[in-house]
Structure 1
């Protein structure tokens, strides 16, 4: 398909994919706007031609803008299996991350979200209600997840699903009244804190916001008097109060209205919300006076106070507050905020040295604190100390289903070793450590070793370890999905082997359908890597020429 474009324009086109505007799919054509350039692709007799309003396109060149549209159009022109998507949405939505092995759920969620994102380009009217269904189902499974890792993965999925819904609404606007009712009912019926109606403000528009406000006011009026001994009554009043506060702060930041609200619904963060409303109204000095008078400010209150000091150019006061925040919770975000106010005072080095001393003095450092300490050691030329901390982080990553964390820790370790001319030593020590884990724990630890071998480019050794420990189709699929983010070409043969094992080793009737789903993932990776999927599919079907497989492939649109 991309033979029309030279390699430089192909690479530029891939970088422009995110700049492609809404598609218009016509008979045999795809029309789109890329960076204010009008693009039209036409396919006929197996040949793809492109027209673009840029200088190169007007000269007959298949330009980078045409490449960007062509990369995304692959999934637009292919028929969409809405029923299969609905099944996948329900499958992910009715389950939740397991506290022990949360990445298993995350793999399925990530696959679904990627599929929905790609389908939205050409079929937003189909994906928009699917996103709404997914967000609601995820909301029902978001409490008591059992571990920070599980909650983080669930939270990421909710955020991606909400972002996808917004994008679908951009491409296919929803009815503002219906969307407003859906958003309010979602907040009222499910945990309200996970969803912010402000994310949908553009899709709702003035009409939708007015409908949302009427729905909120009606719910508030319909509340029976709160019974402090009735858990349901207390919960309902708390939910409606939270939604009202969120709406007032975001859309009606009037100090008097907020003060009246907090008089009726006293809560710890009320002073901060009023200060934010004052700042939004341009009344910065009033906001400062308000917060400075609060005797015991929360972390959020201190953050807002430092912000206000910065607005007024009071950098010493801002730095003092930023240091207090960092000292209470030393992580990279608070350190960056501290540096931002230290710079106008020419105190960046002083702030960095003080931050190092604070981190070194902690009795217990978590991974975030260690990560920051290693980074700061590097800025100070303390490379041995940085490498020591990076090794500690790598060594602490649990084996089994935390491969992305391990990959990040591995590359950070090598980066720390480079100034010491110890990259090979660090590599050898890292893989020796993983082999020791495999010797103790077996196949679960072997998935981590195989994944990292692929990441390091040692594919021959990776396959040797996979065969030695007889990894099954699910373990290989897990490795491939962890690779797919940054190494799609390396992930393809791993997923192909997973599909083969699904057919060869499983005996249930669903094995062909499962193999078809894996092959659909493989097709996506081929497109992402700019490779031809047809040869791969032909080889697979020739080796496994079964009517049930062919039926599953047809159902998957392959």
Structure 2
């Protein structure tokens, strides 16, 4: 229930202090209007930079919310939601609790009152009320107009829907994020009306109209900011209606196949699936055969893709159609033949190798993987190398497996490649000697980077031991990590991680590391950095107090105060630490 979900504390927790305060200002300024409560849902309008529609509701024990502002579209509990929640709290607090003790009436339900009023009115009065509403609500007007056309029957129904689709998708210039909700609402209303045609006697009309609507929506999207996917969602809904209508109406299979193929290969965004497999029930055997004929005719026009060829959207779509047909038929040879027309990347060979693996043809899989490695000697894909390593291990080709793994680590000495080497060498029982070799390679890389000069680094630099520390942390060798951290510079987050692991067994070393990272964090000169630094300083305080070094901690705070005196926001936070540290 809303009464259990909405409180000032809950609203501030959801929104944050700043948004909560702004929401309170909105309420105080009279920005909240048309507050309505029905069951466990609150709706209201909030006047801000624009007029925003807000909804709060019980989402299964959590406070669910919607607002038409961009902030809420990004998933945040916005100031407008806060304002509506506070308005509801204000109204609730003004209503006395029901019960014998109060003797007061329960809060009235405005929707129930309106329903009771309408029930008592004559039909002519109700008609006048609705007609008056259509003068102010274009969506209501269009909805009722389409219902009236359907009731009248005749050839005007399809034309009326086409006009409604045209009106809903018509744009004048670019539709940005501030206008897209209204634009989407108009299309959604037409989709609602189209859904009413999903009946045996009108399904054929729905097939035609859904196709028209999808084309119009897709073409309009080139001038619409649909970054939140609202229009795309409506297009998918139209696609679902089209599929259901085709299944119900059973249009001519050959003609349907031609239209589906055209949509699948020409619509600019391809929001809906019009492939043969999706529509197999509506197409039947004849339609599927004709769809395949269309696809194969288009496929024959395409030449094999070379590595230098640019991306071709049409080619990609036709290829995907052919792949889907081959996958549905279960013909692995056909699928591989299709895939082999595009060997422009190393991954293409891996894709085929995995197809053969799934088909339980390991020799063919290995052949394709090795072909890929030879085809791209300078730019191999490590995923292909990993595939080959696994294949070589199964065949006891251990030296080749280890060599391929080593190549990856040698090219780019990273922790992930070190882990791969550990895994393979461990399986072969040669990890100790390979570990020594790998760590020697790490030391070599650290020295090389430190001695290398460039336009941006004209002089040799202090060695960076981040990789060695990272490896030691992964191996849980805290002593090696500590030693490496002292040998040169190191990534700050790694030092913090190491300090955290040393707190219990070596608190003084942990303090040393925390103190080492605090100055560069403060030097970032922003409030988020100051907050991070203060958290670490508090850790230092806790560790030093536990060691009986409270006075030394006070001296440390004094040093920081002198060092960073110009940074006033940081000093305020530091003074708070000092006050809490004082007995």
Highest CA radius of gyration, 1 or 2? 2
More helix as a share of residues: 1
Normalising by structure 2, report the TM-score: 0.44
Normalising by structure 1, report the TM-score: 0.46
